[in-house]
Structure 1
Amino acid sequence: MEPTGTIVFNTVGRAQYGFDIFTFNLNQSPITDSTPDHRLTDGISVNLNAQFVDDEDQSIVFISERSGSPRIYLTRPGKPKPEQLPFAPNSLFHDRPIIKSHRLYFISAHEQPDQLFKSWSALYSAELHGKRDILRLSPPGFVDYSPAISKSGKFVAVASYGSRSWEGDFRELKTDIVVFPASDPSNRFVVCQRGGWPTWSGDSIIYFHRQADDGWWSIFRTEFPENPNEFPEFPVRVTPPGLHCFTPAAFHDGKRIAVATRRRGKNYRHIEIFDLESKVFQPVTELLNPSFHHYNPFVSPDSKYIGYHRFRGESAQGESTIPNLDPVMSPIKDLRMLRLNGAFPSFSPDGNLLAFNPGLDAKGGVIVVKSDGSKRWTLIKGRTAFYNSWSPTEKHVIYTSIGPIFGSAKTTVQIARITFDPSHLNGDGEEIPCDVKILTREDTGNNAFPSCSHDGKSLVFRSGRSGHKNLYIIDAVNGEFHGGIRRLTDGPWIDTMPCWSPKGDLIAFSSNMHNPDVEAFSIYVIKPDGSDLRRIYVAGREGSSDVDREKINHVCFSHDGEWLLFTCNIGGNTAEPVALPNQFQPYGDLYVVRLDGSGLRRLTWSGYENGTPAWHPGVSSIWAVCAWEMRHAPLTLECKALLKAI
């Protein structure tokens, strides 16, 4: 049996990812804060990583998440809706599309690699006319990112990880710049080691970014010679130290490059043009939109326009910039997936409500939202709370952690029982009165991550009271004040984020007890009486040399107790992290596995960090899904039947 139900999860920073593609006419002068940039996308979902289409003024090919996963679209001036282009049918991730000579090039992550800890990303192409067959250009087992096509279309450059297993690098991937003829993808040449995000100037000069020895991200230049066996030994650094420069886009006049910069003392990433002869930077987006980040520039073939994507702002047209719930495409037929604008969701017993926290460090208290995303309310506003557990037996009781989320074992964090009157859930956006009962002693340090037992009588949580973060059990009503406290695990390591099984027979948690010297966490399960502690080896990898590299967190059970859902780093990196809004630790994709470690399935592919999932057996969020499908895609049979019934 495959897993079923509804999974709600968080993507870190997603509230600021309401991106659209913008362009700016470089002939406009002078540039001031009143000079407008021009939006080319329609304000729906997230739109990013565009390129101009040759010989088509202001036409772009880009990535959009409007279908529930990143797919490829083409938009032209005067067209009301973007056109979806060929994509790999089984892929839930596409990136960096380019159209050259009526052929589409793109990154996809639909073919599973031959081992864990290896990225799924590879380069593919398809004809825009005719059969549109998808052709893999990366050799089997090779990992490629960020393609670029030379001016004539003869050559393709990629940032390649080769056939190596991911080594854990994240801020700067250990990719090489690789070139091959478009007509012969197997004839690959390593032009330069240690480089990313290539861009062509003509057919022979390639610019790319890397972190220089002095610590500054900089743009480097290398040449692809007529005789590929005579590569230059060292690339030439182009941009100076003192500022970070990345994701270059070359002008075909050979005189300039557009780069994203991050200057010392500045809070935002901006697009600038660097003159290769005078070595002078020309600011562009800081003058237009000083308080927005701008990402991944691209240049029109005639060098008149520069493009980029950025946050479109709170008052944009189109759908809500920050919806409460956003449907995500699922690779499993009967498993619904929703992205939450918040963290640490927990379902009410009937599945009609969700409790969550608005941010990882915000004093936003606990938010309660209808599971169709339509209304929301606030509990304990003005207090920092994180990681919620709704009582399985009481629809008006939520447990949470109150205090700073990132703290030492001795930092004061307390477990709280929140009780409210459900009759107050009538309006929208209101602060709901509630009773807050602290269940842990103030002098016991860092008490967090509560999970309520199936019968509603006990709580398991993590505490640093001994100087180490281990698991404890207390009474769910009286806490440790009258009901006492029982230690569940004991050792000089970190046990965290426990989850009680729906049957009440097991507690799953993350721990580094197998190697306390590193923060590499694995899944463990234990019985509530402290017996039968065991480690879950994902995909049966017991004894594997890479098993202690996994970073597994946010573990929770399916409703039948047969599956475990978690977030993990075993898929490596899906895209070049430096090109993304936030560069967090890469344990950011969701997986499920059976309780015995078999049946591993990947649920998300993203350049972002996904995590803090909750799993409910029902599909009470069907209304959110149907509303989304009515706006953006043909209705599913399930939605059609439901709408007909009403």
Structure 2
Amino acid sequence: MELSAMKTTSILFSFSFFLFLLPVLPLASASVTAPETGASSGASLIFATLDRSHYEFDIFTLPTRRRPPSASMEIRITDGESVNFNGYFPSPSPALLSLLPDETLIQQETVTPPLHLIYITERNGTSSIYYDVVYGQDSGSMTKRSLLESSARVQVPLLSGADGRSGMTVNSMRDKPSLIGDYLVYVSTHEDPGVPRASWAAVYSTQVQTGLTRRLTPRGIADFSPAVSPSGNWTAVASYAERGWAGEVEELTTDIYIFLTRDGTHRVKVVEHGGWPSWVDDSTLYFHRRSEDGWISVEDGWISVYRAILQKAGPVSIESVTIQRVTPPNLHAFTPATSPNNHEFIAVATRRPGDEYRHVELFDLRKNKFIELTRLVSPASHHFNPFLSPDSTRVGYHSCRGEANGWRSPRLFLENIQTTSPKLSLFRIDGSFPTFSPSGDRIAHVNMPGVTVVKPDGSDRRKVFPGMAFSTAWDPVQPGIVYTSAGPTFAKERTEVDVIAINVDADDPSTSIRKLTTNGQNNAFPWPSPDGKRIVFRSGRSGHKNLYIMDTEKGESGGLFRLTDGPWTDTMCNWSPDGELIAFASDRENPGSGSFELFLIHPNGTGMRKLIQSGSGGRTNHPIFSPDGQTIAFTSDYGAISAEPISNPHHYQPYGEIFTVKLDGSDLRRLTHNSFEDGTPAWAPKFISPRDVAWPRMNNCMFRDCHWLNITTTNTKPKGLGISC
């Protein structure tokens, strides 16, 4: 791995010294922070993230030149804590090694050469960038499947986030790191562009020893997946510089730009339509994009890897760049990885016809053929986002293998997410549609299929309804009564879905369920009034999904009051604590478009007003009032997209985040920063201490790859392409 270390270090230090001479631009603090709800003791909010509680990743590595690979050759580098992904093998320059304790430097002289790794980890409830050095204890330790079996490890967080040096909030997302000299180049989402549905993702450079930070992405532009050239002079990104996000949840319509790493200047577009760039030398980079391949349009073809050759003399422009397709059709190949000046092979992730798993392969550039790696080691596991060592001898990737691989982290029932306010504790729950009982002693949530009730410490977990259901709400007056929607999700207006009441404390389960709607139509999202006498819910009984109010005891047989009326969808309703307002999501401004805004209305049908404008085509959903009634939490794609979707597991509606807003529409605040789908928030009636709550140890790795990569045969269109998540 260190064959060209001296040459590389010289280049790195020249570039590092040049950067040091440049002025450092101050960063504006993030304009979105944790909410103040008015409660002196603080507030707590829980939310769901699609599939996130069901997997954890570790970073593994295989040698590239020992073939065929075997399980004994694979090394797990990261430590089994939380989720570790998107790694990078740095050249171990003196500037980087100076971050390590003195005893580490001494130990390095007497043992097998260590593995150096920079990567993203979520062990503290939000994404952080870590630097690990892993030492084997003997010459044979590097052949063990897990270095943890006989190793010493040193971990150094490279970005502290909330210490005031970099200007980043503690809960911003960081991603895709590279190191050039002692400067870290990466993506962060800590600055609000101030435009609905505009991505917060931008590329920054931070001096790892001082924390001095410079924004490299121009204001008003979103950049993803940065890659630094071997000399360090240039950075390439996938960018929305011209188009902006149009709601894509599969392959992004980004272009590739390059700019000077030192300050972001001399920015120029070099590729139309491309993502995930990776340099071989300062005039050659690889990227992926969808190909046409004889189907209806470019949106329907294979995702393949391409090569862009930039002219070495004169100004670079998109007209002067030569584009060549590298990988063949009849399979997906994406997220290419290169190493400096290696024109022999690249590493790619693939999805092959008939294989439901994503694997890492090498592609021989001289023979134009694939060399399989991870399928031969672990055929029934997904492997994501390969990266190569500087000398091309190792390929890294992240994968989810479960407890058998030695994870040390338990599966979490409530995962604490760091915030910037001591008055707010924020948690991801292992479930969906959570709500607290009025006293806060229990949580009801959907656990497909069915409804589960559990204490906040994870104990006394019971399934109280076994059928298909979604949404939960506790009765504020009758102890132990939970309302839910029994039936299929995302169903048409005439599909039978019923509002039911569940007595979770009933001795006889056969008498614990009471149907409040019986008309055979789609009735869902019930929420009781604060006095427990009425329920607002959504129904498709008119042929359109509108809001109705019925009696808590008699249900629809006691008569209905129609709250809204129109050829659109009003849904996800929630009653304010003082009983004066009902919040709901609606597509009434563009029916059938999938674009939802938040509205408020009085229970008597008067005073309708819009609360949130989510932007053209946007989604704001799942509104819920805070206990003091002053703030509404909701989920939204207001912050657009934060990473290339293909680099993640599958999420049905990616990039929804949790926000709060005051009832007059002011003080919009973003609470979560990640590339997952967050939704269904719920306030707790009292403050919960900000610490993780674990289930008994359980096997994880229950997740799916992006469904739009599924392929049935080499002669048919991939299933799911062109279908929105």
TM-score between the two structures when normalised by the length of structure 2? 0.79
Aligned residue for 1:641? none
1:402 positional shift: 1.1
C-alpha displacement of 1:186: 1.0
Q: Does 1:249 align with 2:298?
A: no
**Does residue 1:101 correspond to 2:185, yes or no?**
no
SS in 2 for 1:578: helix
Aligned partner of 1:471 in structure 2 is: 547
1:385 counterpart letter in structure 2: A
Equivalent position to 1:228, from 315, 325, 340: 315
Partner of 1:271: 360
Residues 160-169 or 603-612, more deviating:
160-169
Correspondences of 1:106-255 after superposition (within 5 Å): 106-129=186-209, 131-162=210-241, 165-214=244-293, 215-226=301-312, 227-229=314-316, 231-232=319-320, 235-252=323-340, 253-255=342-344
Letter of the 1:236 partner, please give it.
Q
- Please tell me whether the aligned partners of residues 372 and 623 of structure 1 are also in contact (alpha carbons under 8 angstroms): no
SS in 1 for 2:556: helix
Distance 1:547 1:303, change over 3 A: closer
Of residues 324, 328, 338, the one that matches 2:413 is 324
Deviation at 1:29, TM superposition (A): 3.3
The residue identity in structure 2 corresponding to 1:366 is V
> Structure 2 matches for 1:433-512, cutoff 5 A?
435-441=512-518, 443-481=519-557, 483-512=558-587
Shift of the 68–398 alpha-carbon distance from structure 1 to 2, 3 Å rule, reads same
- Give, as a single letter, the amino acid of the residue that structure 2 aligns with 1:142: I
- Provide the residue aligned with 2:36 in structure 1: 2
Deviation at residue 220 of structure 1 after TM alignment: 0.9
How far did residue 163 of structure 1 move? 6.4
**CA gap 1:173/1:513 in 2 versus in 1, 3 angstroms:** same
The aligned residue for residue 520 of structure 1 is 595
Which aligned pairs between 1:388-407 and structure 2 lie closer than 5 A?
Answer: 388-407=472-491
The whole-number CA distance in structure 1 between the counterparts of 2:686 and 2:402 is 35
What CA deviation, in whole Å up to 9, does each residue of 1:505-530 have, x standing for no partner?
A: 11111011112141111011111122
Q: Matches of 1:60 and 1:260 in 2, distance apart?
A: 20
Q: Residues of 2 paired with 1:340 and 1:213: CA distance?
A: 41
Structure 2: distance between partners of 1:333 and 1:549: 35
Q: Which amino acid aligns with 1:125?
A: S
Asked if the contact 1:439–1:478 (Cα under 8 Å) also holds between the matched residues in 2, the reply is yes
CA distance in 2, matches of 1:38, 1:395: 53
Indicate if the aligned counterparts of 2:615 and 2:638 stay in contact, CA closer than 8 A.
no
Aligned to 1:86: 159
Q: 1:379 aligns with which of 464, 473, 478?
A: 464
Q: Which amino acid aligns with 1:322?
A: R
Whole-angstrom distance in 1 between the partners of 2:378 and 2:216 = 38
Rounded Cα–Cα distance in structure 2 between residues aligned with 1:367 and 1:81: 41
Partners of 1:380 and 1:438 in 2: CA distance: 13
Partner of 1:53: 90
Distance 1:374 1:288, change over 3 A: farther
- The one-letter code matched in structure 2 to 1:596 is D
Aligned partner of residue 77 in structure 1, secondary structure: strand
Measured after TM superposition, the shift of residue 556 of structure 1 is 0.7
CA-CA distance at 1:484 after TM superposition: 2.5
The C-alpha deviation readout for 1:223-245, integer Å capped at 9, x for no partner, is: 12222335535511111111111
Could you give the per-residue CA deviations for residues 380-401 of structure 1, whole angstroms, max 9, x where no partner exists?
23x1111101112233111111
One-letter identity of the residue aligned with 2:337? A
Deviation at 1:309, TM superposition (A): 0.7
The answer to whether the Cα contact below 8 Å between 1:459 and 1:474 also exists between their aligned partners in 2 is yes
Q: Distance in 1 between matches of 2:404 and 2:373?
A: 23
Query: Match for 1:60: what amino acid?
Result: L
Runs of 4+ off more than 6 Å: 431-434
**AA in 2 matched with 1:6:** S
SS of 2:304's equivalent in the other structure is strand
Task: Give the secondary-structure state (helix, strand or coil) at the position aligned to 1:159.
Answer: strand
% identity of equivalent residues: 42
Judge conservation of contact 1:142–1:161 (CA < 8 Å) in 2. Answer: yes
Range moving further from structure 2, 301-310 or 114-123: 114-123
Distance (Å, rounded) in 2 between the aligned partners of 1:140 and 1:390: 45
Structure 1 Cα separation of the partners of residues 577 and 354 of structure 2: 50
Cα offsets for 1:49-97 (capped at 9, x unmatched): 1111114742110011111110110111134452111354333210011
SS at match of 2:412: coil
Structure with the greater relative contact order (CA < 8 A, sep ≥ 6): 1 or 2?
2
**CA 1:239 to 1:583, structure 2 compared with 1: closer, same or farther past 3 Å?**
farther
Structure 2 residue runs of 5 or longer lacking an equivalent are 1-34, 93-112, 136-151, 163-167, 294-300, 696-725
Shift of 1:327: 0.5
Match of 2:124 among 54, 59, 67: 67
CA distance in 2, matches of 1:622, 1:83: 24
Give the Cα separation in 1 of the matches to 2:501 and 2:540: 19
Partner residue in 1 for 2:671:
603
- Where 2:375 maps in the other structure, the secondary structure is helix
Shift of 1:213: 2.5
1:626 CA displacement: 12
CA shift digits 1:590-611 (9 cap, x unpaired):
1111111111111111111100
Query: Any stretches of 5+ residues in structure 1 without a counterpart?
Result: 425-430, 539-545, 628-646
* Alignment partners' CA distance in 2, 1:233 and 1:152: 20
Q: How many residues align?
A: 604
Tell me the alpha carbon deviations over residues 10-56 of structure 1, each in whole angstroms, 9 at most, x when there is no partner: 01111333111111123443335x54521111111111111111147
SS of alignment partner, residue 445 of structure 1:
coil
Asked whether the 8 Å contact 1:379–1:434 carries over to 2, the reply is: no
